[in-house]
A and B are shown apart, each in its own frame.
Chain A
Amino acid sequence: GQNIDQPTEMTATEGAIVQINCTYQTSGFNGLFWYQQHAGEAPTFLSYNVLDGLEEKGRFSSFLSRSKGYSYLLLKELQMKDSASYLCAVLDSGYALNFGKGTSLLVTP
């Protein structure tokens, strides 16, 4: 079976840094994705990791440790528009995405 865990909610201050963790146990692994989803909208792609290490893309970075079944999404210089749900998803052996329940991030002034 698939088990993907991430915190339900997080709150951070505008301009700060926040780290959203994700742990997973899945049947097969072909990469880990992070998606951002604003309320009432479709998920949009943020990052993809298939090898261990850190991938940096502007204010967003994502880290993967396959041996630990662990990833995190790091958001720097938080902006109010970053308030959204952040979805961790693992691509399994059949190339299907298995999503966690999402982490609702609230950025406060």
Chain B
Amino acid sequence: EAGVAQSPRYKIIEKRQSVAFWCNPISGHATLYWYQQILGQGPKLLIQFQNNGVVDDSQLPKDRFSAERLKGVDSTLKIQPAKLEDSAVYLCASRPPGQSPYEQYFGPGTRLTVT
């Protein structure tokens, strides 16, 4: 079974530029998550999708971050404009529907450096 795919793996941009990340979850996984992991910390949930609907985006900085999952499969996360404090690894995870223990499967992440 193919895992969660993310691209790009690495991205370096200057502050105030825009950037987009892509995630393709495991086939059949209805729930998709985007996390931000700053160096030395645990992942922080940014947004949770159930199919193509948003379940939780309470921690998404909506003035600069946006995410979509138009067809309920792959998803994009965008930052516009980027700030220095956005430097982090952005992790995408997916979960199969209604299956305990509700284990999430993580992709390799995109490491963003804002200079």
Interface centre among B31, B45, B108 (most CB of A within 10 A): B45
Q: Enumerate chain A interface residues (CB-CB to B < 8 A).
A: 4, 30-31, 33, 41-45, 48, 50, 87, 89, 91, 94-102
Q: List 24 A-B contacts (CB under 8 A).
A: A4-B42, A30-B102, A33-B101, A33-B103, A42-B91, A42-B109, A45-B103, A45-B104, A45-B105, A48-B101, A48-B102, A48-B103, A50-B100, A50-B101, A87-B43, A91-B102, A95-B31, A96-B45, A97-B43, A97-B45, A99-B42, A101-B40, A101-B41, A102-B41
CA distance A99 to B33 in the complex (A): 13
A97 contacts B104, CB within 8 Å?
yes
CA distance A45 to B41 in the complex (A): 17
CA distance A12 to B103 in the complex (A): 28
Given contact pairs A30-B102, A87-B42, A97-B43, enumerate 11 new A-B contacts (beta carbons under 8 Å): A4-B42, A31-B101, A42-B106, A42-B107, A45-B104, A48-B102, A87-B43, A94-B55, A95-B31, A96-B48, A101-B42
- Chain B contacts of A41 at CB under 8 A? 108
A96 with B56: in contact, given A43-B106, A45-B103, A91-B102 (CB under 8 Å)?
yes
CA distance A44 to B4 in the complex (A): 12
Instruction: Report the minimal beta-carbon distance from A76 to chain B, rounded to whole angstroms.
Output: 22
**Cβ-closest chain A residue relative to B101:** A48
- Chain B contacts of A4 at CB under 8 A? 42
- Chain B contacts of A91 at CB under 8 A? 102
B42 contacts A42, CB within 8 Å?
no
CA distance A96 to B42 in the complex (A): 14
Instruction: Report the minimal beta-carbon distance from A59 to chain B, rounded to whole angstroms.
Output: 19
